[in-house]
Chain A
Amino acid sequence: MASGQLLVSEKTAGKSRWVGPALLLAAGVYVAWRAAVFGCGTVYVAPADEGPTSVSAWEAVAGVAQPSLGRTIGVWVAALLTLAIFSFLYKDNPLYKLAEAVFVGVSAGYWMVVAFWTTLVPNLLGKLFPAWVSAGLMPGLSPEREDAWYWYFVPLVLGLMLLWRLAPRGAWIAAWPLAFIMGATAGVRLVGFLQADFLNQIGATIRPAVVLLHQADGQGVDWTASLGATVQALLLLVGVLCCLTYFFFSVEHRGLVGRASRLGVWVLMITFGAAFGYTVMGRIALLAGRLEFLLNDWLWLIDPAGLRPPDWTGWW
C-alpha cells in the first residue's frame, strides 16, 4: 500500500497542488479578520497584590480590566505552537521541528527548576545550612538544625558523584549513586509488587465460587441475583486460571492444558479489546481538549463556560 498518495486523479493533480495553500491562505485571512474585528485570543487582567491577574472578559465589560499584551501574545504563541505540532500530520516540516526543539529545551529547563526549588533547596541545602537558606531563600524554614543533620552530607556527596557523569573523565564514579538508586528501587519494588500484585491478587481470586445474595428487605435469598453473581465469580476464577495456564510455557499446550490455554487466549483477547477501546477513548479526549483551546480560548468560536458576552463569540 503506497503511503502519501492523494486520493485524486492524475488529471487534477496539477490543480490540486494549489488547493492546500489556498485553503491555508483563506484560513489565515479568516483568523486575521477575527483578531482584528473581535480581538479573539485577548486575555484581560486586573490589578492584584501579587501582580496583574487574569480575569474573565466580563470584567472588561464592567470597565475594570485591561487587555494584557503579554498574555494575549502568549495565547497566540500557544495556538501557533499547537498548529505547528499538528502540522506534522500533514508531513514533517521545519515548523514542527522548531516546536519540537522548543519543547525539549523548555521541558528540561522546567524540570530542573522544579527539582531545585521543591527539593534541593528545602530538603538538602535546608537541612545542611538551614540558617543561610531561611535567611534569604525560604524564610518559612526553621533555621535550627535537626538531630543527626550531618547524615545529609551522604546524599549531597552521592549527588555530586551523579553529576560527575557529565565530566569528560572519571564518569565511572556515577556508578555509585546509580547503584544506590537501583538497590533502593529493587528493594522497594520487590515487596510492593509481591504484596499488591501477587499475594493480594491471588487472595482476591480465591473467593467463594457460589455466591448467595439476600433480598433488599432481608427476607430470604434473591436467587436471580445470586445466580448472576455466582456465574460472574466462576467466570472470573476460570478466566484467571486459564490465562495463567496460557503463560505456563514449560508444559506443552496439548489436551486439557491446550484447551485451557486457548480459552485463556480468548480471555486475553477480550482484555486487549477492552484496553483498546479505553485507549481510543483516552486519546480522543486529549484531542478534544486541544480543540477546545483552539476554538474557545484562541478563536472565540465557542464559549461553553460563558466567560465572554454572547456577542463576542461566533463565526462572524
Chain B
Amino acid sequence: MLEKLQHLDRRWVFLMMLLAVAVPMLADWQVPEKSTLLVRQTFEAIDRLPEGSKILLSWDWDPSAEGELGPMANAFVRHCCQKKHKMVFIALWPVGQQLIDDTIEKLIQADYPHLVYGRDYVNLGFKPGNEGVIKVLLTDLRQLYTTDARGTNIEKIPVMRGLNTVRDFDLVVSVSAGYPGIKEWVQYASAAYPNQVRLITGTTGVSAPLLYPYIPDQLQGMLGAIKGAAEYEQLLLEKYPPTHGEEVGKYQEALRRMGPQLAAHLLMIGLIVLGNILYFASRRKQS
C-alpha cells in the first residue's frame, strides 16, 4: 500500500484537487468571514473620505488573475459608487482597459445608472511604459492622456477638471497582479511624495507577502488574495446592503470562492502530511 502511494500517479492528485474545488462549488458551500485589521483599514481608507472625493483606480491586472482580483475590483468600485466618489480609471496592463470597460458596463451602468460617464467617472485607458506611466502621472498626466479611452478630449471631461497629477487625487487604488503594479506605485508615487499620495491595493496571493514591509507608511491598506476580497465584500455587504435580490449574488463572488478554498487548503495540508508520512516511513524501512 505504502509502495503504491509513494508511486501514485500525479494525475490522481490533480483529480483530487479538481474535486476539492468543484464539489463545494456545486454544493454552494459558503463559510462566514471575519474581517482582519488590515482589511478594515483598507475599507476605512475609502469609507472615511467625504462624498465626491477623487479616486484614481489603476487596473494593473489581466484575466489570468481574475479569480482573485475580479471580486476585489468589483468591491472597490461598488464602494466608491455607494460613497458617490468621482472615479478615474487607468490601466497599466494592456488588457486592463477592456477590464475597466467590463466593470463599467456590468457594474456601474447596471446597478448605478444614475452615475454619468464623464461627470462621475471616466476611463482614461491603457498606456504602455510600465513605471514610465507613473512617472508622467507625477508631473502632468495630460502629457500622456490627451483623450479618454473613448476618444473624448480630456479637456472636455468634467470629472478631470483640476486633476493634473497623481497628487490631486484623494486616494489611489491599484488592483495589482504583478509587474507593473502596486510595487511600482509605491516606488515611484508614494516614495516620491510621501504623505501626499495615499495608496491602497488589492493584490494576488503571490504578491501580498512581498508588500507587507511597505505597510503602513508607504501603503495604507491591502487586500491580500481571495481571503482579503471576501472580508472586504463582507464589510461592504454589512455596511451597504444591496437593495435588490440580484445584486447580492453579484457581490459575493469572493465569499462564494472561500468554500472551495477551504476544501482545497485542507487537501493541500493532507497531501503534505501524507507525503511526509510516506517519506519518513520509507526512510525507516530503508534504515
Report which A residues bind B (CB closer than 8 A). 1-7, 56, 89-90, 110-111, 114-115, 118-119, 122-123, 126, 138-142, 184, 188-189, 192-193, 195-197, 200-201, 203-204, 271, 274-275, 278-292, 295, 301-302, 304-307
Q: Chain B 245-258 against A: per-residue CB contact (8 Å), 1 yes, 0 no?
A: 11011101100110
Q: Are the CB atoms of B209 and A118 closer together than 8 Å?
A: no
Of A89, A142, A305, which one neighbours B246 at CB under 8 angstroms? Answer: A305
Q: B101 to nearest A CB, angstroms? A: 12
Q: Are the CB atoms of B68 and A302 closer together than 8 Å?
A: no
Contact A279/B206 with A302-B25, A306-B246 known, Cβ cut-off 8 Å: yes
CB-based nearest B residue for A89: B14
Greatest chain B CB density within 10 A among A1, A188, A201, A203 is at A188
Of B9, B144, B194, B248, which one neighbours A123 at CB under 8 angstroms? Answer: B144
Contact A289/B67 with A281-B265, A284-B260 known, Cβ cut-off 8 Å: yes
Q: A40 to nearest B CB, angstroms? A: 15
Q: Are the CB atoms of B188 and A188 closer together than 8 Å?
A: yes
Of B28, B131, B132, B187, which one neighbours A302 at CB under 8 angstroms? Answer: B28
Indicate if B36 sits at the interface (CB-CB under 8 A): no
List of B residues within 8 angstroms of A192 by Cβ: 131, 184, 187-188, 191
Q: Are the CB atoms of A140 and B151 closer together than 8 Å?
A: yes
Q: Chain B 206-246 against A: per-residue CB contact (8 Å), 1 yes, 0 no?
A: 10111001100110000011110000000000000000011
Chosen A-B contacts, 26 in total, with CB atoms closer than 8 Å, are A1-B7, A3-B9, A5-B7, A5-B9, A6-B9, A114-B94, A118-B125, A118-B128, A123-B127, A126-B146, A140-B150, A140-B151, A141-B147, A141-B151, A192-B184, A197-B187, A200-B217, A275-B210, A280-B205, A282-B205, A284-B261, A287-B21, A289-B67, A291-B18, A295-B26, A302-B25
Q: Are the CB atoms of B26 and A114 closer together than 8 Å?
A: no
List of A residues within 8 angstroms of B186 by Cβ: 196
